[in-house]
Amino acid sequence: MANLTLEEKIAQMLQAEEKYITPEEVTEYGIGSILSGGGSHPNHYDDDVSVWYEMVKDYQEAALEARCSIPLLYGTDAVHGHNNVYGATIFPHNINLGMMNDAALVEQIGEATALEMKATGIHWNFSPAVSVARDIRWGRTYESFSEDPSIHANLVASFIQGLQSHHAIATAKHFVADGGTFKGIDQGDAILSEQAVRDYHLPPFIEAIEAGVSIIMVSFSSINGVKMHASEYWLTTVLRDELGFNGVLLSDWNAIFQLDGTFQEQLVTSINAGVDIVMLPMDWQAAHAELIDAVNLGMLTTERVDEAVKRILTLKYNHHLFENPTHRVDTETYFASDSHIELAKKAASASMVLLENDGVLPLNGTENLYLTGPAHDHVGYLAGGWTTHWQGNQDARLGTGTSILEGIQNHLKNNPGHIVHNLEDADTVIVVFSETPYAEGHGDTEHPTLFNGLAHPDNTQAYQQAIQAKALGLNVIGVIVSGRPLVLDDTVETFDALIAAFLPGSEGGSAFSDLLYNQTEFQGKLSFAWPASLNYFDSPDNHVHYPLGYGLTYDD
Ligand code: BGC
Ligand code: BGC
């Protein structure tokens, strides 16, 4: 610290996006951190692990060449496995982990994710989201374990311990009440009493701090009209003074631009409220100049700068970045390894929820199966948002994983049973509905139903086939691939069995086939109540189709 100039200290407090900074600029400024944003890749979306590693290493070496020679923090959103990287194991999204609610498996997923990150030399994860989504109209519902903080109480600490193994760094996000906004609007306003914030949204952060989380990311959202990025009360009085968090507080992507005032005032407001690192993907250079000026003008004290930089350096030191800045684990052993694939499959299977079953399931191998619906042969839909691309991947194949059709085909290689290609030749029809992949912002909808909102347009046609099959007297099994419960109305009458798969990840297809043929048991229990109609949102006590905690087994 004593050797650093003000310019170098300010550079530690800034985070640039990889596409907007060169290694030469890293050396020139001694920048403190870089991120690869959602869907940002070294060159192409299918870049190899070694291309990622070389990129990260180049930046890291550039940082070490700077006068102050401080290693970089390199971050990314590995929110369900190392999902920006083509071919990585894609674990189920957090919503599935909540349905599974198994702390030991969640810890293993955290560790596997840390290892796959480390195969690319990336050591910092913007995960876990510990959001308590209170309104499924929010497009980030699937990033949340549950609407019920008691499920977080079981999972948050284990996930963080797993993610922070192998010297990787976790981030609890988004502080606080991101899941409590009015009507579930992304980046919206949580109109809540302080008690409600403390009852529902604060507990997962307390658990994260107790588990030793190193970084907390601030939410874009507001509480009662006050932007979190400007809230000294929540960021400092509560988080630092009351909860004792002494790690690093990170702002979200360009979030400071939503504050009042000039760019300089926005920067100063957020840092004085408590932010230590400002994520400014494109404008880090301008911010650097503005912040130096702000210190010279007395808008920002050197004490506040020193406090932030001390936290950042302590974090880099504690996570062994000074010792081994370009640390990497062996790709062959750890990236998309058989054991990670097996773990992803286990979690996918343990997280699917059996909603209805009149006895048609499990299958016994005598069936002639006909499969249809937009997600019946599509790994990209099983994976959902934050998969090689920010808003998800529309491709049926991801370079890893198994679709539902492929999962069944693999099972039938060694077991009795048939797939037929005409509905008329079938006795059992599997209709796999889907939402189209989405992430923040784009995923918000006021109409989360099987046919509206983010529902795949082909659901309508698939449902027509379900009705036709029903009329022919065939068994009809419905499967829903979605980032949240979808209002079903009376469509549910059409199905002899109904399964909510949510977003089970790349191994969802093989997990599904295991459940279908009773190689594994259904264990998933709803971590979100399933609304019976859109009226639910205006009168939350009414009209629950399936309650929180619901989920059938083959014994029921
Ligand atoms: C999201 C964060 C994410 C960040 C970096 C933001 O838009 O809200 O969850 O970590 O981008 O990709
Ligand atoms: C980035 C994401 C980020 C988002 C925020 C995208 O362009 O790739 O990481 O979360 O912008 O708007």
Which CATH number characterizes residue 502's domain? 3.40.50.1700
- Residue 93 binned pLDDT confidence (cut-offs 50, 70, 90): very high
Is 271 a residue whose pLDDT tops 70? yes
- Same structural domain, 286 and 426: no
Is 344 domain-assigned?
A: no
Is 30 a residue whose pLDDT tops 70? yes
pTM over 0.95: yes
Is 477 a residue whose pLDDT tops 70? yes
CA of 15 to the centre of ligand 2 (A): 14
Final residue of a domain: which of 298, 332, 366?
332
> Is the torsion defined by CA of 393, 394, 400, 402 positive or negative?
positive
Domain with 252, as residue range(s), is: 78-332
Ligand 1: which atom is nearest the Cα of residue 37?
12
- Same structural domain, 318 and 464: no
Is 343 domain-assigned?
A: no
Is 542 a residue whose pLDDT tops 80? no
Is 253 domain-assigned?
A: yes
**Residue 416 bridge partners (DSSP):** none
For the chain, the average pLDDT equals 97
- What per-residue confidence (pLDDT) applies to 541? 63
Average pLDDT of the residues in 83-87: 98
Q: Which of 228, 253, 257 to mutate to test the pocket of ligand 1 (most atoms within 8 A of CB)?
A: 253
Tokens of 534: 């859109």
Q: What percent of the chain has pLDDT over 90?
A: 98
Residues with CB under 6 A from ligand 1: 37-38, 77, 126, 173, 252-253, 440
Is 412 a residue whose pLDDT tops 70? yes
- What per-residue confidence (pLDDT) applies to 448? 98
Asked if 7 is an active-site residue, the reply is no
- Same structural domain, 285 and 215: yes
Which CATH number characterizes residue 310's domain? 3.20.20.300
Is 485 domain-assigned?
A: yes
Final residue of a domain: which of 273, 298, 332?
332
Exposure string over 310-336, b if 16+ CB within 10 A, otherwise e: ebbbebbeebebeeebbbbbebeebbb
Q: What percent of the chain has pLDDT over 70?
A: 100
Query: Does the C-beta of 390 come closer than 6 Å to ligand 2?
Result: yes
Asked if 440 is an active-site residue, the reply is yes
Q: Out of 47, 77, 252, 276, which one is annotated catalytic? A: 252
- What per-residue confidence (pLDDT) applies to 538? 80
CA of 389 to the centre of ligand 2 (A): 10
Is 36 a residue whose pLDDT tops 90? yes
Is 323 a residue whose pLDDT tops 90? yes
Query: Does the C-beta of 52 come closer than 6 Å to ligand 2?
Result: no
- Residue 391 binned pLDDT confidence (cut-offs 50, 70, 90): very high
Ligand 2: which atom is nearest the Cα of residue 440?
10
Is 455 domain-assigned?
A: yes
- Same structural domain, 299 and 159: yes
Neighbours of 257 (CB within 10 A): 11
Is 60 domain-assigned?
A: no
Final residue of a domain: which of 279, 302, 332?
332
Is 552 domain-assigned?
A: no
- What per-residue confidence (pLDDT) applies to 540? 61
- Residue 539 binned pLDDT confidence (cut-offs 50, 70, 90): confident
Counted domains in the chain: 2
- Same structural domain, 135 and 91: yes
Is 187 domain-assigned?
A: yes
- Same structural domain, 292 and 382: no
- What per-residue confidence (pLDDT) applies to 489? 93
- Same structural domain, 313 and 365: no
Average pLDDT of the residues in 196-211: 98
- Same structural domain, 273 and 418: no
Closest residue by CA, ligand 1 atom 8? 252
- Same structural domain, 448 and 531: yes
Contact status, residue 157 vs residue 367, Cβ threshold 8 Å:
no
- Same structural domain, 242 and 369: no
The H or E element spanning position 360 is none
- Same structural domain, 315 and 365: no
- Same structural domain, 249 and 108: yes
pLDDT, one tens digit per residue, over 327-357 is: 999 999 999 999 999 999 999 999 999 999 9
CA distance 352 to 503: 9
pLDDT, one tens digit per residue, over 217-269 is: 999 999 999 999 999 999 999 999 999 999 999 999 999 999 999 999 999 99
Is 311 a residue whose pLDDT tops 90? yes
Average pLDDT of the residues in 505-512: 98
